Amino acid sequence: MGGNGQGNIRGSKWRRRALIALAILAGLVLILHRPLLLNLIHRVALHYASKENLKLEFTIEGTVFTSFTIKNLHAVPVGPSDIESIDVDLARIDYRLFTLLRHGISTAIKNADIHSARVVMNPAKEPLRPRPPNPKKKIELPDIFPERLHVADATIIVRNRPHDFAAEHVKVDLDPKRAGEI
């Protein structure tokens, strides 16, 4: 460094250029955030489905801050899985992005609305992994379970010998402010 402090000026120019580049990048993310986040949701869903030996096909739409809609979801097994097929015409999920970022997924999902779903399960395709519940631990709903759930025209089929279990055209409405209906 010279006696006139030129090293300080070079350091501040570098920081200034880095901040300008970071601001431009942040601006681009804000402008293009919807497609990026919807693509991220799509990839995360495909990742978790592949862990369960499922192949997913669906389209995703919606806003990033309040809700997204999944249309024409189709899942089939690609390996040993107890799920034979899942077909959902429409699933709408309402959430709060800032609640998700601050408190996690357990409080962020407010409403789930599912229409025309068909789930076929075949437990004989994958060997059961029995896990007895821990008597010391309280049984709770999964974290991803929404505050309110509305399912219309759902069909659930569980393959079993000698008879299959089938529940067709089921309507479920779970709301903490009203009595539940099935």
Number of domains in the chain: 1
Q: Is the pLDDT score of 115 beyond 90? A: yes
Nearest to 175 by CA among 143, 144, 151: 151
Q: Which domain holds residue 167?
A: 7-129+140-174
Predicted pLDDT at 55: 94
pTM across the whole model: 0.69
- Write out the two tokens for 136: 């010391």
Q: Which of 42-46, 98-102, 149-153, 171-175 has the lowest mean pLDDT?
A: 98-102
CA dihedral of residues 53, 57, 63, 67 (deg, nearest 10): -60
Predicted pLDDT at 52: 87
Q: Could you give the CA distance from residue 23 to residue 32 in angstroms, rounded to a whole number? A: 14
Residue 135 lies in a domain: no
Residue 31 lies in a domain: yes
**Helix ranges, 5-163 (H):** 6-31, 33-51, 97-103, 105-108
